[in-house]
A and B are shown apart, each in its own frame.
Chain A
Amino acid sequence: GAGVSQTPSNKVTEKGKYVELRCDPISGHTALYWYRQSLGQGPEFLIYFQGTGAADDSGLPNDRFFAVRPEGSVSTLKIQRTERGDSAVYLCASSFQADSPLHFGNGTRLTVT
């Protein structure tokens, strides 16, 4: 089967605009994670879903960031009033269960101008 798919692969937006980033996890994986990675750094945790509910959203930097997973499969990360500091690669990962290895997508590179 297919791996984790993220769209778009690249997104350029102007400061202040709203963006949505999509993640299609591996079929049957109940856990879904969003991470953010800046150049030269490791992935930084944002939010984790177990099924439809957000099990841990402690990594979201502020209330401009929000994520949903309404049917327990596809997830959307939403960023309002984007700032230049939001520029990074946003990585999505899924796993069969909470303590299983993560399968990552190739990420969405977000650039805020």
Chain B
Amino acid sequence: SQQGEEDPQALSIQEGENATMNCSYKTSINNLQWYRQNSGRGLVHLILIRSNEREKHSGRLRVTLDTSKKSSSLLITASRAADTASYFCATDPSGNTPLVFGKGTRLSVIA
């Protein structure tokens, strides 16, 4: 079963624009993570936000978490063509259970 649901399923933007992807989940979590996957490759960890955190930054990435709404968002600022990939949110329900991934958002950044 997949707990996280990303929205939108696909997103196409021009280089230099910001990209926002959203993730909703169903049960309480210990932390939420975002991963990126280039075509034909494995997933790469981007950022982890714990349930007691509301916002986190890493370079051009900004992640927010609203546990009352059971939702998170990933913002990529000043997007580049190289940001083209699929982005997945994954929830960790208890800290000792496997991550549950959503279906992902396919981002296309057009140069």
Contacts and interface: CB of A to CB of B under 8 A. Distances in A.
User: Most chain-A Cβ atoms within 10 A of its Cβ — which of B45, B48, B98?
Assistant: B98
Interface string B37-49: 0001111110010
B48 A106 contact: no
A99 interface: yes
Contacts of B100: 45
Interface residues of A, number: 23
Contacts of A102: 33, 35, 43, 45, 99
B95 interface: yes
Interface stretch (B59-67, B77-85, B101-109): B101-109
B104 A42 contact: yes
Given A40-B103, A44-B2, A99-B92, A105 B42 contact: yes
A45 B30 CA distance: 18
B98 A99 contact: no
Nearest to A47: B98
Interface residues of B, number: 25
B95 A98 contact: yes
B103 A42 contact: yes
A62 interface: no
Given A42-B101, A43-B43, A107-B42, A101 B33 contact: yes
A103 B45 contact: yes
B88 interface: yes
A106 B40 contact: yes
The 3 A-B pairs with the shortest beta carbon distances in the complex, nearest first, are A104-B42, A42-B101, A101-B45
Interface of A: 4, 33, 35, 40-45, 48, 56, 59, 91, 93, 98-99, 101-107
Interface of B: 2, 4, 30-31, 33, 35, 40-45, 48, 88, 92, 95-104
